[in-house]
Amino acid sequence: MLSTHAMSALEAAFLGLESRAVPFVHASILSFDRPIQLDALRAHVDAALADIPRYHERIERGRFGAAAWTVDADYRIEHHVHAAAVAAPGGARELEDLAAQLLSGGLPAGHSPWRLWTVNGLAGGRGAVIALFHHALVDGIAGFRLLEHVLRGRAAKPAHEGGTPPPEGAALRELLSWRNVGALTQLLRDGLRPAAQLGINPRRTGAARAIASHTVALDAMKQIGRVFEATANDVVLATVATALRRFVIRRGVAPEKLIDVRAMVPVSRHAKGASETTGNNVVLLLVRLPLDTPDPVACLRQIAATTRELKAGHASTGGELLVALSEVTSPALLTAVLSLALEMRAFNLIVTNVPGPAQSLSLLDAKLTRIVPIVNLWPHQSLGIAVASYAGDMTFGIQTDRAVIPDIDLLLLRDDLAAVFDELLAAVPQVSSGFDAAATMTRDLTSARVPPEAR
């Protein structure tokens, strides 16, 4: 008889919320300085994952929202690692289009929910790997730990095989404190009322996806944060908020309607230095984005004040309590609350920021040059923005529902992000620190900007 391990409430909720059109699958596009051969990639990945049982397990769905991991008796690396190609000579846009096509198809059932593709046909003798993982299998932080394990050979530490154990004793009493109950009440209050209507929260999210990306210098991001007393995540949110303002106004939304726009922001609860390569340990926060503020610097200051307030008020503990209650009762509780929040359009988009490896990595003698993170969409959402750092760069990965935000609009939104970041960087008082903004201006490593005639 095959052994099974119960899923955590959060992981089960990701399963309960998805559909054929909205799979909870996130991705990464890994660019290399040379191609990677399929047979060599299969052998390397198979060996690297040999000591992590979860990547050899499939999903078994149960009753009342429960789910479990069970051993895939038919596991073979050929089920998971494949080859794909773009029309030569392919560039970044062709690579992003291929990733969007693969995401649109989701992941097949019956085996562990992850897939890799090594990509051929890229210009300049370059290579790439596109990775898809179900969110029930791994979150962003654990995903980067997995990447380091596979590429660097760093020791892996699997998540607890029985899922996250329910809190008990003193831990449960602490979670049930008045402070945390108040935070949960506020979370439910915000999560059960509609956010602003921006035309990007459809009645039904479609299956077709579009992807674009933009890369900036990490030092520039940090400098902006230091000067304006904000975190890197604050800078990300301000860049997204101001760019989104310009985007929706261009699509016809009146500026006076840009009140109470909200982003769902996953916050990692992984311990610093944790090495887990599977599992989920996040809480979900609703953060108001001041789209009614046209100036990006003023927007950044407002967001920094908002996030400081959320931290001081222990806002994340409300989400922790909701997850804990679902663990000790039923995963269906968390799924029901999230489903209702999605039906109410309680947030407009997803924004996530994941710190990645600081040093360059290689795979089979191919140097990893760039990582594009791609966060999964949720029901009634058409826009998700993920940001990840790697080796001195930060890359914005943008995924959209192609029916709501088609390619041309997506590329314009990407250009909005680039322009807003440049404006924030230009606002940095360079004389105060000797910082040379010209030397670290944002780098658009995707395709050329959209020509004026296409606007």
Q: For residue 166, what pLDDT is reported?
A: 56
Q: For residue 455, what pLDDT is reported?
A: 36
Higher pLDDT, 308 or 128: 128
Please state which of the ranges 113-122, 215-224, 253-262, 441-450 shows the lowest mean pLDDT.
441-450
Q: Locate 77 and state its tokens.
A: 């690396």
| Confidence bin at 434 (pLDDT 50/70/90) | very low
Question: Which amino acid is present at 104?
Answer: S
Q: For residue 111, what pLDDT is reported?
A: 92
| Helix (H/G/I), strand (E/B), else coil: 74 | coil
Provide mean pLDDT across the span 414-418.
97
For 420, counting Cβ atoms within 10 Å of its Cβ (0-12 exposed, 13-18 middle, 19+ buried), the class is buried
Question: Which amino acid is present at 64?
Answer: F
What are the boundaries of each domain within the chain? 1-153+164-447
Above pLDDT 70, what percent of the chain? 83
| Confidence bin at 342 (pLDDT 50/70/90) | very high
CATH number of 1-153+164-447: 3.30.559.30
Q: For residue 192, what pLDDT is reported?
A: 81
Provide mean pLDDT across the span 47-62.
90
The pLDDT tens digits of the residues spanning 133-161 come to 999 888 877 888 888 888 876 544 544 44
Q: For residue 108, what pLDDT is reported?
A: 86
Is the pLDDT confidence value at 187 over 80? no
- Distance in angstroms (rounded) separating the CA atoms of residues 337 and 140: 23
Q: For residue 64, what pLDDT is reported?
A: 66
In sequence order, what DSSP letters do the residues of 237-273 get, joined into one string? HHHHHHHHHHHHHHTT--GGG--SEEEEEEEE-PPTT
| Helix (H/G/I), strand (E/B), else coil: 1 | coil
Is the pLDDT confidence value at 440 over 70? no
Q: For residue 18, what pLDDT is reported?
A: 93
The pLDDT tens digits of the residues spanning 74-107 come to 999 999 999 999 999 999 999 999 999 999 988 9
Q: For residue 113, what pLDDT is reported?
A: 94
CB-based contact 130:84 (threshold 8 Å): yes
Provide the mean pLDDT of the chain.
85
Higher pLDDT, 415 or 189: 415
Provide mean pLDDT across the span 61-79.
86
For 366, counting Cβ atoms within 10 Å of its Cβ (0-12 exposed, 13-18 middle, 19+ buried), the class is buried
- Distance in angstroms (rounded) separating the CA atoms of residues 399 and 410: 8
- Distance in angstroms (rounded) separating the CA atoms of residues 39 and 42: 5
Q: For residue 147, what pLDDT is reported?
A: 87
Provide mean pLDDT across the span 104-118.
92
